Structure 1
Amino acid sequence: MGEDESQVTVMVVDDHPMWRDGVSRDLAGAGFEVVATADGVRSAASRAAATGPDVVLMDMQLTDGNGAQATAAVLDAAPHARVLVLSASSERDDVLEAVKAGASGYLVKSASAAELVDAVTATAAGQAVFTPGLAALVLGEYRRMSSGPDPDDGQDLPQLTDRETEVLRLVAKGLTARQIGTRLHLSHRTVENHVQSTLRKLQLANRVELARYAIEQGIDED
């Protein structure tokens, strides 16, 4: 956090200097404090540790790795940061990996400056920026995990509730939190909480799967 608690601090991570500079200018013009920029995994981690940004805008293609690796590295270096992934729609599977690594949301790079500002504001406030494409991906991922090769272990994986599944389906159809709230007779904040819970479960599910893999491979043995 910066000295002015009301001003959101942001780090922009992208390997294209012109795009990185342009986004930084847009954010500064909208009242955010851009405290750092980076073009790769290592530089993002070191600068996040040094500046402790509230929000990290994360591109998927970097000079020395990808956005999922950088997300994990940044959150290890600055645990209180929130990562908002910016990506081309063709990289959605990569975005899912970034969300599993801890990203709070996803925005396509074709978004307008106003949409970017709204997304950064929402991310800083702890909301999940969850687009229809990402919601559909998450639903598919849960179906894949729940019908995995070892269903006897299914109880180890966090499961979506019926309400969370219902909310995700409506997000995937393009409805906003307020529209979903009206349809389901919930407050928009409750809808957003369901989305945040889903993201947390997906990140937990990924850790559970990693632990299983380690056990199966004997990695956890002395």
Structure 2
Amino acid sequence: MTITVLIADDQALVRSGLRAIIESEPGMAVVGEAGDGAGAVEAVRRLRPDVALMDVRMPRLDGLAATRALLAAAVPVPTRILVLTTFHLDEYVTEALRAGASGFMLKDATADQLVEAVRVVAAGEAMLAPSVTRRLLERMAQDERPDPDRAREIRELLSVRELDVLLLVARGMSNAEIGTQLHLAATTVKSHVQGVLAKLGVRDRLQAAVAAYDAGLVRPRAAAPKDRGTPGR
């Protein structure tokens, strides 16, 4: 099945370069372009691509506001947003993730890294530049006060095993690593992850990690939380 992509960037040369990379890859097609955030919102709503490559700094409406408009609406679009920027600044990343983006990459990424990111995001997973993942989530936890009500809600929603899985997802572990840590089969971990996403009402494991940090269930550079739920659930 072909992965459809929309490119939103205010520089025509950048759009052309991204189009060339995407269209040279089998199984991918660029279905539209936008030169500003407002145009990106209109194009995504009209074309419904699988993935939108969204620049941060654009006229009329920046990429973060455009992402919020698309994903925080009463009826959010199914499109996955992959934010691209030249700015290696945490605040851009945190704003994008809180807006609902499924990934963040710097524009100095290689063509292969970009293609892989599109595939990962289109498959419903989350993508962050490896250099910012852990530092980003810890920064989010430091900047925001934990929400005890949300933490209580999450504990009530999830089983003990699902909560174990969520805490390890929030620490950036893959399904294989989680399976090793908890002595579970990969298929069992995948099932638990899907259950966590459904119960928390989030789109992917990155958004689940954000929820765990925001609730204070995971703290920066700390040991795993002691309170992991009510035994026997």
Amino acid at match of 2:54: M
* Cα distance in structure 1, aligned partners of 2:176 and 2:110: 22
Amino acid at match of 1:156: R
* Cα distance in structure 2, aligned partners of 1:59 and 1:46: 15
Q: Which residue of 2 aligns with 1:117?
A: 115
* Cα distance in structure 1, aligned partners of 2:154 and 2:85: 27
Change (3 A) 1:205 1:178: closer
* Cα distance in structure 2, aligned partners of 1:115 and 1:28: 15
Change (3 A) 1:20 1:78: farther
Say whether 1:199 aligns with 2:196: no
* Cα distance in structure 2, aligned partners of 1:165 and 1:205: 9
Shift of 1:93: 1.2
Q: Which residue of 2 aligns with 1:25?
A: 20
Amino acid at match of 1:121: R
Kept after mapping to 1: 8 A contact 2:166/2:212: no
Change (3 A) 1:21 1:180: same
CA deviation profile, 1:95-130 (whole Å, cap 9, x unmatched): 211111110111221111111111101111101113
CA deviation profile, 1:139-165 (whole Å, cap 9, x unmatched): 332344345xxxxx6223566955444
Change (3 A) 1:164 1:89: farther
TM-score normalised by the chain length of structure 2: 0.68
Shift of 1:202: 3.1
Q: Give the one of 28, 35, 38 matched to 2:31.
A: 35
Kept after mapping to 2: 8 A contact 1:82/1:124: yes
* Cα distance in structure 1, aligned partners of 2:18 and 2:193: 26
Shift of 1:43: 0.3
Amino acid at match of 1:74: L
Matches within 5 A, 1:37-186: 37-75=33-71, 76=73, 79-132=77-130, 133-147=132-146, 154-156=148-150, 161=163, 163-169=165-171, 171=172, 177=174, 180-181=177-178, 184=181, 185=183
Q: Is the helix fraction higher in 1 or 2?
A: 1
Shift of 1:46: 0.9
Change (3 A) 1:18 1:124: same
* Cα distance in structure 1, aligned partners of 2:86 and 2:5: 21
Amino acid at match of 2:46: A
* Cα distance in structure 2, aligned partners of 1:53 and 1:96: 24
Kept after mapping to 1: 8 A contact 2:5/2:53: yes
Shift of 1:60: 0.9
Change (3 A) 1:97 1:183: same
Shift of 1:86: 1.3
TM-score normalised by the chain length of structure 1: 0.71
Q: Which residue of 1 aligns with 2:201?
A: none
* Cα distance in structure 1, aligned partners of 2:56 and 2:213: 22
* Cα distance in structure 1, aligned partners of 2:209 and 2:178: 21
* Cα distance in structure 2, aligned partners of 1:203 and 1:168: 9
Query: Which SS does the other structure have where 2:88 is aligned?
Result: helix
Query: Which SS does the other structure have where 1:139 is aligned?
Result: helix
Change (3 A) 1:61 1:200: same
Answer 1 or 2: higher relative contact order, Cα 8 Å, separation at least 6: 2
Kept after mapping to 2: 8 A contact 1:39/1:62: yes
Query: Which SS does the other structure have where 1:100 is aligned?
Result: helix
Change (3 A) 1:49 1:30: same
Kept after mapping to 2: 8 A contact 1:68/1:99: no
